[in-house]
Structure 1
C-alpha cells in the first residue's frame, strides 16, 4: 500500500491525539481517581499506536504501546496516579512529539527512548523508578549542548539587529575545585558586568546546587570585545579553560529551514488527503454517522494563495466601481453592484476559512506552567478564558512566542514562592489568568497574575542607570508610564539570574513582534498585588475597512477600528493648552493633529472656511483629533507593505491601490497618538 498519500493526515491526527493526551493528563493530575479521564487518554493512545503501526513507524508504536500498558494498569486500579508517575508519562509524550516532528521533516521517526521505556516498565511492575544519576550530576558528554527554541531564536535575531554579538561560552573548572557553585557564580558576575546572559546549561538551579561536573555552557550577549571577557573569566581562580564561539543564526535556524523545505516538497507532491488512514477510518466513519457536517484538511499555503488572488480581485473591484460611477451606465452599475455583493460574501467566507481558535496557541501553556512550577518550586494555577476566540491563521502563527515569554515572565518574576505569599497573607498558590476576547475588529489577550507587582522605584532606578530617561522626565512620569519602561531594550530589574524568562532581552522583543503584527502591548500593575499585560491584535492582516480622507490632492486611509467618529469643528471652538491646539470633545480635552503639517503636504491656498474637518481616533484611553481637508468615504482596502526600504516611515503602516489607480497611504493611529 502506498502510504505517502496519508502522511500529512497522519502527522495532523498524531498531533491532535498527543495534544488531547496532554490536556487530559493535566486534568487527571487534578482528579486522579476519575477513570473516565484515563479511558479518554487510553483511547487516544490506542488510536495513535494503531496509526503508527499502520504507517510503519514501529518505534513510535512501541513507545505508545508501553505507555498504553501503564494507562491500562491505572484504569484497572493496579497502580495509583501520582505526580511522579505523570512526570514519566509526560516525558514519554515529549519523546512521541519529537518522533512525530521528525517524521514531519522527512525523518524516520526513530529516537533513543530506552530510559523512558525503563521507567514505564518499572511503573507497570509497581517498582520504584530509579533515575540514573551520579550524585545528582548529569552526564555532560551529551547534556552540555545548548538547545534553542523559536523564542530563543527570536531574541537572538532581535539583539543581533540591534548591534549585539552572541557567543556560546564553555567554562571548565579545575578538577580540584571544591566550591563549584561559588566559582560558577563568580563567572556569571563577570559576564553580567560585560553583557547579558540568555541561558545556561546546566540550568542556574543546578549550578547553584552543584548538580554538574566541572563544566558548563552559557549563551552570552554583549557589545564588548570578547577577548577582555575571556581574560576576566580566566582571572578567577580554579578556572581551567574558557572557550568562546560566535553563535551563527544559521546553526539555530537549520532545523526550521529543513522542516519548511520538506513541507513545501510534500505540498508540491501531494493532493490534500480527503480520507483517513486505515487505522483511523472506523472512528471517522462513526463520527460522520453522528454528524451531518463534513470537513476536509486544506494546506495553509493554498489558503494563502487563494487570499492573495482575492486581494487582487478586491483592487479590481474598486477599479470597476470607480469606472461605473464615472460612466453612469445603469446596466454596468447594476452588474458591478451585484459583483460587489457576491465578492463581499466570498471575502467573508475566505476570511472565516483562515480563522483559527486561539486555543491552538493556548493549549501548550498548561503543560508549560506545570513544568516551570516544579522548576521554580512554586505553586501556580493557570486559568484560561476565551480559548474559543478566533484569529487569522497568520496572526496565530506569530503570537505564540510573545505569549510564551509573557507567561514565563509572570511565573518567574511575578508569582512569589509559597512561603513568601503566606507571609504576605496571600494563598500559597498563585494564579495566572490567560484571557482572550473580541472587541470590534480586534482581539485582546490578557496575561494577569496576582504576584508581587512591579516596583515603581526599582524600575525608575534602573531606567535612570541605563539612561533610558532623564531625571527631569522621571519626576513627571505617571505610574503607568513608568511600567511601560520595562519594554525598553535590555531592561531588567531581576536580582537573581534565571533561565525561565531570560535576562532582560525579552520584553522589547515581545513588543517589537506584536507591533509588527499591527498590534499593541501595554502593562499595568499594583505593587504587591499583581501585574497585567494586555495585547491588542487585529483580526486579520490583509483586508481592512478604512475611512478615506484627502489632504490637498493626496489620499490617506484611516482604519475604521481606530475611529470613534468624524466631525466638523468651528474655528472658534479651537483652544490652546501647553502650546498645543486642542478641542473639547464631550468633556475631554483632545489634542489637534494637523496631518498637512505632519506629512509635509504643500498647501496651495489659504483656507477661507470657518471650520475644520476632523477624525477622532483612539488608542486605549487616549484620544486625538486628526485634521483633514475632506472626507471621501468608507471602503475596504488591501493592506500592502511598503517594502524593506521604507520600514521606518513615521505613522504609516502600509499602502493600498485605490479604484482609480492611485496609491493611498494607511495611517498608523497608534504612532500618531504616541
Structure 2
C-alpha cells in the first residue's frame, strides 16, 4: 500500500468502499434469488469495479486483483454468457469474504494479504463463457500482470487492449507537455491551444486532456462536444461543440457509450502516481468517488455534466458541492457531547425541583423554557448518534443463505423496518445476539423440506426479521413458520435438567415454558452440531439484552412457528426511571421494567411454596421486600401493615417489589459505579436526583438472581 497516500483520500476510500461492500453482501444473496435481474448484475459489477478503482489508486494490488477477477465474472453474467448457479455464488461470496478481510487490513493500515491462488483461478474459470475451453477476453486480461497503482480493464468492452504502466503514462504526459502545440491540434479547437491549467503541476489543460483521449482511444474518437466545453467560457465551448465530430456512441455528438465510459474510467482511475488521475477539471484525485457516482440509470452518461453550467456561473454563486454538506466526526467526540447533555439534564431536573418549591412566576417560565430547550438539544444530539438498524440487518441474508445450504434446507429471509434508527452503541451491541437468534430460527425452527411437504407446508420456510419504534423503545422480532415448540417437551426437559421439580414444572404456563430455552445449559436438540445443540448461546443472548436494559420474550405455536420479541431502549445514555425510597435512601427502577403500581394491605398476603405472594385480579405474584436486601439496617424492623407495591417484569415473569415511598418518574443519566462498588449485585449504576442526592439504579434481573 502507498503508505504516503494522503489521509483524506484514504479515508474517502474507506468510507465509500465500506458502504459498497456492505451492500454487495446483500446484493449477492438477492441475485441468487433473482438471477435474471439485469439491474442487480450491473450494480454488483459496478460495486466491484469501483472498489477496484479506489484500491488501484492506493496501489493495493492484492485487493485490485481479487476485485478484478470477480468483476470479470459479472461481466460474463451480465452479457448472458453464463448463468447464475449456487456453486458460482459460493465462489463469488468467498471472494467477497477475502475482499472484506483485505479491506479490514487496509483499515488497520496493514498491507492486504493476497487471495488464495485457487480462488483467483476459480473466478477465472467462471469468467469464461459457458461451454468454452479458453478464457474470454475479460478473463485473459485478468491474467496479465497487474501494475502497482493501476486499475485493470473493466471487461465491459472487448476493445480494451490492456493497461499501460505508470512509467508509460508519465512519458505520455511528458510528451504532451513538451509538444503542446502539435498535440493540441488534435483536440477540439485551435483557439484553446494556449490554454493551460492554473492549478500548478498537478493539473492538465483541456488540450492535453483531448490529446490524452486520442492517445488512449484513437484520434478523434472522443473529440467534439464530449470534451470541448471550456470551463472559463461555457458559451465558447458550446459553439465549438456544434461542429460535427466522429463518435461511436450512437447517441449524439456529446455522448459516450457505457463501454467507452468504463474503459475511460479504467485508464484514468488508479494511475495515481501522476497528475493524470485528476482529470481535465483539475479536481483532486478521488478515483473511488468518480467510479461510484457513475449514473446507473443513464445508459449514455454525458461528459458535459461534470462541467459547471452557464446558469450557475451567471447567477454569481455556484451551488456548494454535495460533499461539503457533511462532516466526519469521531464518535468519541459525540460521546463527550452526549455526556455534557446528560449533565445538563441533571441540572434541569435540579432546577425543576427548586422551581416547583418557588412561587416566582418568572422562575417558573424560565425553568419551563430551559426544559424545552434541554429536551430539544437532547433529542438533536441523540440523532447524531443514531444509525439505521440496517447496519445489523444487512448481514443476515448471507447468514441465512450459508446456513440453509449447510443444513440442506430451503429458507427465505424477509426483513421489515430496516430504516428504524437507534443508538450506534446499541446497533453494535445487538449484532451478536440477533445473529444467534436468526441462526437458531433456521436450525431449530425451520424443518427439512421433505418434512414440511409432508405437513402440508411449502418446501421453503420463511424467517421474518422486523424492527419498529414504540415510544422511547425499539421492538425487534425474529419469527419463523417452522415446527414451533411443544410446552410438554420443555417441561420434561426442565425436570430432567433439575431446573424444576415435577410439581413446579406442571404449574408453569405455556409462555413460561417457552422462555425456559433462555436458561443456561437448556437445549432441546438431541444431536450436537456445529450450529447448535450444546445448550449455550441463548442464556448469553438473555444476559446481553438485560445488560442493554432490554427485555426478551418468546411466543410459539406447535406446528406453526415461533416468535422472539426483544424490547430495548433507543439509547443507553439517558434512562427514564421510577424513583422510589427505601428508608431514607433513593433508588431508581428502570421504567421499562415497571408494569403497574398500587397500594396494598400486606396483612392479606399468602404463602405459596414457602414464598410470600399476593393475588391481584386472579393472578399470583411473588412478593419481595427489597428494603431487606438493599438497606441492611432495616433487617430487624417490624414489617409495615401497608405499603406501595411495584410490579416489575423480566420477560414473562412478573414479581412485586415492596417499597416505602414513590417519588415519581425522572430521566436520569447513568453513571458507572466506583471501583470499590463495581460488581455489586443488583446495581446497574448511579445517578444524581433532582434534589441533589445520589440514587442507585437497580438492575432488576441481577437483583432477583442474587437475592430472590
Q: Same fold (TM over 0.5)?
A: yes
Specify which of 342, 345, 359 is matched with residue 314 of structure 1. 345
Residue 21 (structure 2) pairs with residue 18 (structure 1) = yes
Counterpart residue number, 1:134: none
Residue 430 (structure 2) pairs with residue 391 (structure 1) = no
Specify which of 466, 479, 482 is matched with residue 497 of structure 2. 466
Counterpart residue number, 1:540: 571
Specify which of 589, 607, 613 is matched with residue 558 of structure 1. 589
Structure 2 contact 484–558 (Cα < 8 Å) conserved = yes
Counterpart residue number, 2:79: 76
Counterpart residue number, 1:435: 466
Residue 90 (structure 2) pairs with residue 87 (structure 1) = yes
In structure 2, distance between residues paired with 1:564 and 1:345: 28
Residue 417 (structure 2) pairs with residue 409 (structure 1) = no
Residue 292 (structure 2) pairs with residue 278 (structure 1) = no
In structure 2, distance between residues paired with 1:338 and 1:292: 36
Please state whether the residue corresponding to 2:380 is helix, strand or coil: helix
Structure 1 segments unaligned to the other structure (5+ residues): 131-274
Q: Which one has the bigger strand percentage? A: 1
Superposed displacement of residue 41, structure 1: 1.5
Superposed displacement of residue 452, structure 1: 2.6
Structure 1 contact 521–535 (Cα < 8 Å) conserved = yes
Identify the structure with bigger relative contact order (alpha carbons < 8 Å, sequence gap 6+). Answer: 1
In structure 1, distance between residues paired with 2:362 and 2:560: 66
* TM-aligned CA distance change 1:471 to 1:621, over 3 Å: closer
Residue 661 (structure 2) pairs with residue 658 (structure 1) = no
Superposed displacement of residue 453, structure 1: 2.8
In structure 2, distance between residues paired with 1:124 and 1:571: 79
Structure 1 contact 22–367 (Cα < 8 Å) conserved = yes
Please state whether the residue corresponding to 2:115 is helix, strand or coil: coil
Counterpart residue number, 1:531: 562
Superposed displacement of residue 478, structure 1: 2.8
In structure 2, distance between residues paired with 1:503 and 1:604: 45
Structure 1 contact 122–129 (Cα < 8 Å) conserved = no
Structure 1 contact 438–444 (Cα < 8 Å) conserved = yes
* TM-aligned CA distance change 1:61 to 1:4, over 3 Å: same
Counterpart residue number, 1:7: 10
Superposed displacement of residue 96, structure 1: 0.7
Q: How does 1:52-131 map to 2 (within 5 A)?
A: 52-126=55-129
Counterpart residue number, 2:553: 522
In structure 1, distance between residues paired with 2:346 and 2:26: 44
* TM-aligned CA distance change 1:76 to 1:643, over 3 Å: same
Q: How does 1:144-155 map to 2 (within 5 A)?
A: none
Residue 83 (structure 2) pairs with residue 51 (structure 1) = no
In structure 1, distance between residues paired with 2:362 and 2:575: 29
Please state whether the residue corresponding to 1:425 is helix, strand or coil: coil
Q: How does 1:199-218 map to 2 (within 5 A)?
A: none
Higher deviation after alignment, 482-491 or 320-329: 320-329
Give the TM-score, by structure 2 length.
Answer: 0.66
Superposed displacement of residue 93, structure 1: 0.9
* TM-aligned CA distance change 1:344 to 1:293, over 3 Å: farther
Structure 1 contact 378–417 (Cα < 8 Å) conserved = yes
Structure 2 contact 409–449 (Cα < 8 Å) conserved = yes
Specify which of 641, 645, 652 is matched with residue 672 of structure 2. 641
In structure 2, distance between residues paired with 1:290 and 1:390: 27
Superposed displacement of residue 367, structure 1: 0.8
In structure 2, distance between residues paired with 1:565 and 1:491: 31
Structure 2 contact 76–129 (Cα < 8 Å) conserved = no
In structure 2, distance between residues paired with 1:407 and 1:125: 37
* TM-aligned CA distance change 1:468 to 1:646, over 3 Å: farther
Counterpart residue number, 2:158: none
Specify which of 346, 353, 373 is matched with residue 377 of structure 2. 346
In structure 1, distance between residues paired with 2:630 and 2:320: 62
* TM-aligned CA distance change 1:385 to 1:119, over 3 Å: same
- CA displacement, residues 493-532 of structure 1 (integer Å, 9 cap, x when unaligned): 3222311236222222222222122122233333333232
In structure 1, distance between residues paired with 2:435 and 2:60: 32
Please state whether the residue corresponding to 1:642 is helix, strand or coil: coil
- CA displacement, residues 36-70 of structure 1 (integer Å, 9 cap, x when unaligned): 11112122222212111122212212221222222
Superposed displacement of residue 480, structure 1: 2.9
Superposed displacement of residue 35, structure 1: 0.7
In structure 2, distance between residues paired with 1:572 and 1:468: 30
Superposed displacement of residue 336, structure 1: 4.6
Tell me how many residue pairs correspond in the alignment. 527
Q: How does 1:471-550 map to 2 (within 5 A)?
A: 471-501=502-532, 503-550=534-581
Superposed displacement of residue 13, structure 1: 1.8
Superposed displacement of residue 4, structure 1: 2.1
- CA displacement, residues 592-632 of structure 1 (integer Å, 9 cap, x when unaligned): 65554554474999999x97545555555665565444443
Superposed displacement of residue 360, structure 1: 0.5
Structure 1 contact 441–561 (Cα < 8 Å) conserved = no
Structure 2 contact 512–652 (Cα < 8 Å) conserved = no
Superposed displacement of residue 670, structure 1: 5.5
Q: How does 1:146-165 map to 2 (within 5 A)?
A: none
Structure 1 contact 373–380 (Cα < 8 Å) conserved = yes
* TM-aligned CA distance change 1:101 to 1:285, over 3 Å: closer
* TM-aligned CA distance change 1:422 to 1:385, over 3 Å: same
Superposed displacement of residue 535, structure 1: 2.0
* TM-aligned CA distance change 1:64 to 1:607, over 3 Å: closer
Superposed displacement of residue 363, structure 1: 0.7
Counterpart residue number, 2:402: 371
Specify which of 575, 582, 587 is matched with residue 614 of structure 2. 582
Specify which of 285, 291, 299 is matched with residue 330 of structure 2. 299
In structure 2, distance between residues paired with 1:531 and 1:583: 30
Structure 2 segments unaligned to the other structure (5+ residues): 134-282, 296-318
Structure 1 contact 9–277 (Cα < 8 Å) conserved = no
Higher deviation after alignment, 353-362 or 480-489: 480-489
In structure 1, distance between residues paired with 2:507 and 2:615: 24
